[in-house]
Structure 1
Amino acid sequence: MTATISPPSHIAPHGNSLVNRMVSEADRPALMESVTKTVACGDREACDLELLLVGGFSPLRGFMGEEDYHAVIDTMRTSSGLLFGLPVVFHTDREDIAPGDRLLLTYRGQFLAVMDVASKWLPNKPWEAQQCYGTTSIEHPAVRMISGERGRYYLGGPVHGLSLPHRGFSCQTPTQLRDHLPKGRDVVAFQCRNPIHKAHYALFTGALEAENVTADAVVLVHPTCGPTQGDDIPGEVRVKTYERLAEEVKNPRIHWSYLPYSMHMAGPREALQHMIIRKNYGCTHFIIGRDMAGCKSSITGEDFYGPYDAQDLARTHCHELGMQVVPSLSLVYTDEEGYISADRATEKNLHIKKLSGTRFRRMLRSGETIPEWFAFRSVVEALRSA
């Protein structure tokens, strides 16, 4: 008699525990009665809170306390030794909040969660900036964020979910996405924060041919749709471009979902954070491009990180995470061979076409025809209609 062998399930979540912090309907009245104070969340805090509630930050069960905060800043590990690229904390300016309080966390009038305040401290923000972002310059968007947007105090403690933020688009939870993705197959995650153009498409479909990816693998296009940089296209507009593109290409090897994550532009550390999150969502591989999650000084124009720093850090820790890194090539469009690597185009002396992001946005606004080689028609239409 031949035994039936079931294919392996999805990759184990970070820390081997996929967290779900949502509270049952029966338990909500007692939880609400125990609330001592109410605090409103901003857009960034609502994203962090949602990922805590649904397990995107597994195995965290709430915002990091002071001990974990310092450990992650100094070592990229929690106090228990678990990898984390960036600390996940709540903040406030309120003097009347203290450990032992139960906070009702709201977002645009919606009740999201109750937080048990376990610790409150004065963070050393310059040290946090230097360790996490490699600079204390307010030219870095995350340094501006922690110095100008975050309150004086940080709070840590477990959270209990009441509801998820209402948005103009839905974000699958790790459990929902794991149920949707094929089991026992490689899942290659592609992270982006901008509309997808043809170079991006060539990049992530080309990743399916990488040496460390199996022949039956699929790609998960998993854009971050929370706050990014100030001049980026808003999340709801970006989602419309992804939806239109998915309908245009109808590629069965591509899965589409959206991540309620707020970008820090922290380069290598953020690439590691992205890997951990995508592991929780069921991904086995992660595409890391040149200067991933990086940013430039608006004064000097210099990059804050080296072009391959993110790839190097991810390679250092990928085995511990049980994931594999798929380095992305720098692609260019050539008249002769379409999208190929920049090195190959140079070696063969091919004619390269270029279109800067600034020029593209100017052409969008003026109604000029966008070259077919650069952008998908559906994406251009979605951007212009928005």
Structure 2
Amino acid sequence: MNPVRSTAVNSRIVVNGGLLPVAVRTGGTQLEAAKQTPHGGTLVDLILKTDEEKEAAMAKCTKELQLTPRQLCDVELIMNGGFSPLTGFMDESTYQHVVDNVALPDGLIFGLPVVFDTDDEDLQPGDIVLLKDGERPIATVEFTDKFLPNKAYECKKCYGTSEIEHPGCLMVATERGKYYMGGKVTGLNLPIRDFPCKTPAEVRATLPDDVDVVAFQCRNPVHRAHYELFTRALDDPLVGPEGVVLVHPTCGPTQADDIPGVVRYKTYEVLKEETHNDRTRWEYLPYSMHMAGPREAIQHMMIRKNFGCTHFIIGRDMAGSKSSVTGEDYYGAYDAQDYAKEKGPELGVIPVPSLNLVYTEEEGYVTADEAKERGLHEKKLSGTKFRQMLRGGEDIPECNEYVTC
């Protein structure tokens, strides 16, 4: 699927050869509600605005399909601009280029392929299909091609392994359908979720346009150690004065043993109420985790660029995963950080390495290096134990150093 490409022309914008109006500031420049420029130059918005337009779009459909939870996340981020500059699911050539080169065919960096999967033998290029979540119409898709992917090759390139013990490979092999299909998406309605998800345009409108915005990504329930991590990131020399942090956790599907998204969302709401920090903003992302380590870090940075972020906190073992058989890590602790530093200048997002914080009996939260140098006594709670306590309804202690993202 071809991405949107644009160039500014006074108060209008050229999009794929056609002129569309854009809002302008009093100074006459193209409106960007935040300091950051969207990926590819234009923030995509594929959602129809009137009932008449929506009815006309649905009238063209000859088939209906129910979206899986992962597909629902992808459709939402395509149509609201989170995956800008995409305007639909990737066709075979675009998919292959992203798998091979971590970039779209025009060279624009893109971390992971975005595909529509199906086992339906009857679906064919040219079909216009209504995509639904239960009874709610979400979007239409006009399919352009259908192909058999080499899933083992895709996994090897995107996840660094084709072992089924990797949760991303397991998802590709057992959850995704036999075929992938490319197609142009037309948005109808955003999903109704227990965790409210603002569009990139809505989030950008809340952000300052004159200071740095640091994104914090997490797939786990949040706690005080995370708070210490993302607020202290604002003191990093890479972040300008008066910067703000956008706490933007993923609440969509992830690996099997993770806490459900709705529960994760509720932990953030509690922390938000307890802290009331003017330099912290809180939003939620309908993204389906792949646990792809370095390449997923690039995907997260790209998405947050579309939401208006200039910086991105990269934790140790970002989006990492372990073998379900051996328990061994698939990625090194700093692989994602190193890859983000390499790709950051090209992407236009500055990676901010997260502090390795620990909780000590004497001083509370300090860096691990300081605790070691001063001989402070650390108190630890493993991620596994943390999830067990949440599932059991136990009280979570304040001295939790578990900060995996």
Give distance in 1, aligned partners of 2:184 and 2:94. 13
- The answer (yes or no) to whether the contact 2:69–2:252 under 8 Å persists in 1 is yes
Deviations 1:19-51 (A, max 9, x none): 000123232222222112222110000000000
The structure-2 alpha-carbon separation of the partners of 1:359 and 1:32, relative to structure 1 and needing over 3 Å to count, comes to: closer
Pick from 36, 43, 46: which aligns with 1:21?
Answer: 46
How far did 1:10 drift?
2.0
How far did 1:362 drift?
4.2
Residue matched to 1:380: none
Residue matched to 2:205: 179
Tell which deviates more after alignment, 183-192 or 321-330.
321-330
The DSSP-based 3-state class of the residue aligned with 2:40 is helix
Unpaired segments ≥5 residues, structure 2: 1-26
Structure 1 residue 195 and structure 2 residue 226: aligned? no
Of all paired residues, the percent bearing the same amino acid is 58
TM-score by length of 1: 0.93
Pick from 240, 264, 273: which aligns with 1:214?
Answer: 240
Residue matched to 1:240: 266
Pick from 336, 344, 356: which aligns with 1:330?
Answer: 356
Pick from 337, 342, 362: which aligns with 1:316?
Answer: 342
Structure 1 residue 281 and structure 2 residue 307: aligned? yes
The structure-2 alpha-carbon separation of the partners of 1:210 and 1:105, relative to structure 1 and needing over 3 Å to count, comes to: same
How far did 1:174 drift?
0.4
TM-score by length of 2: 0.88
Pick from 90, 113, 123: which aligns with 2:139?
Answer: 113
Aligned Cα RMSD in Å?
Answer: 2.0
The structure-2 alpha-carbon separation of the partners of 1:364 and 1:171, relative to structure 1 and needing over 3 Å to count, comes to: closer
Give distance in 2, aligned partners of 1:367 and 1:192. 21
Deviations 1:189-241 (A, max 9, x none): 00001111221111101100000111200010000010011121111111111
Give distance in 2, aligned partners of 1:327 and 1:253. 19
Tell which deviates more after alignment, 282-291 or 239-248.
239-248
How far did 1:373 drift?
2.5
The structure-2 alpha-carbon separation of the partners of 1:369 and 1:43, relative to structure 1 and needing over 3 Å to count, comes to: closer
The structure-2 alpha-carbon separation of the partners of 1:309 and 1:38, relative to structure 1 and needing over 3 Å to count, comes to: same
The structure-2 alpha-carbon separation of the partners of 1:216 and 1:42, relative to structure 1 and needing over 3 Å to count, comes to: same
Aligned length: 373
The DSSP-based 3-state class of the residue aligned with 2:184 is strand
How far did 1:78 drift?
1.0
One-letter code aligned to 1:42: T
Query: Matches of residues 1-386 of structure 1 in structure 2 within 5 Å?
Result: 9-25=34-50, 26-364=52-390, 370-374=396-400
One-letter code aligned to 2:149: P
How far did 1:371 drift?
2.7
Unpaired segments ≥5 residues, structure 1: 376-386
One-letter code aligned to 1:325: P
One-letter code aligned to 2:41: N
Residue matched to 1:384: none
